[in-house]
Structure 1
């Protein structure tokens, strides 16, 4: 992957999107955008109260991320976004054709443990089950790679860079 793609770092809460995203952006030499920053306050309030978002809550958020990704087309960038459903990824691709996904995957117990040690994040561990229930992994026809989150952030980032390098430029 030599052309500057926009990479969406996706996965359930607690997989390390906010940690891996900036590291990946630095390795690729492109800007990073934190997907959580695109949420309207109503979404943050809802999740903070332990209530999962529904699709109507997510559409404006996905559209804002898609607009950012569209603006980075041909320039490259990395943005974090759970992108749990195929329909969410389709919406991002409609806004920014050519985006590629890095799906951070891992053992549920490891992810829950990491979530329980986070400080100052609005997403409670109680919503992890709803995240896994919603998750639709990348399909073979979707441009992207799955990367295991076991190991250090640097190891995970290196696996992501290596996997992205194997993607065709037409991804």
Structure 2
């Protein structure tokens, strides 16, 4: 399996807003979310495996990533195919705070973490979400993700 890691050039479109604790609105994020939707659709159509990384803290953000602009006008959207799923990295505040505080050279400082928890809409009742306990080892988490991918990946056609 080949994974393409697509990362945002900066964690948010308005990096200075994040640094100043002035978080982006949906209007600020919308172009980026629509761009992620296009990337996801392009990768699905190509048959490639891809890993797109971003926070997607709100359900509406995740819906836009899955359904594009249609998510702006509809309350109920059709389910997305299981070949697109979210990894919800779940951990308690103190563990995540410790990890964020130990990072060097990253614009998001530990004092901004509380606001991230405040706006988080956990995807616990959403389809296509694999919840991962980040207190486990990286190896264990990676194995769980791999098993999930294999479970939903179509088998190659038999000759």
Asked whether the two chains share a fold, i.e. TM above 0.5, the reply is yes
Question: Which moved further from structure 2: 158-167 or 120-129?
Answer: 158-167
1:76 corresponds to: 49
1:48 pairs with 2:19 = yes
1:10-25 alignment to 2 at 5 Å? Answer: none
Q: In structure 2, how many angstroms separate the alpha carbons of the residues matched to 1:149 and 1:78?
A: 18
1:140 & 1:106 partners in 2: Cα distance? 17
Q: 1:168 to 1:71 in 2, by over 3 A?
A: closer
Query: SS at the partner of 1:72?
Result: helix
Change (3 A) 1:109 1:61: same
**Which one has a bigger Cα radius of gyration?**
2
Task: Classify the secondary structure of the residue corresponding to 2:3.
Answer: coil
The one of 154, 157, 161 equivalent to 2:139 is 154
CA drift at 1:144: 1.6
Give the distance between the partners of 1:38 and 1:106, measured in 2 at CA: 20
Structure with the greater relative contact order (CA < 8 A, sep ≥ 6): 1 or 2?
1
Query: Do the aligned residues in 1 keep the contact of 2:12 with 2:18 (CA within 8 Å)?
Result: no
Taking only aligned residues, the RMSD between alpha carbons, in angstroms, comes to: 2.3
Gapped regions of structure 2 (runs ≥ 5): 69-79, 155-159
Aligned residues: 140
- Deviation at residue 62 of structure 1 after TM alignment: 1.1
Distance in 2, Cα, partners of 1:84 & 1:53: 12
Contact 1:52 1:127 in 2 (8 A): no
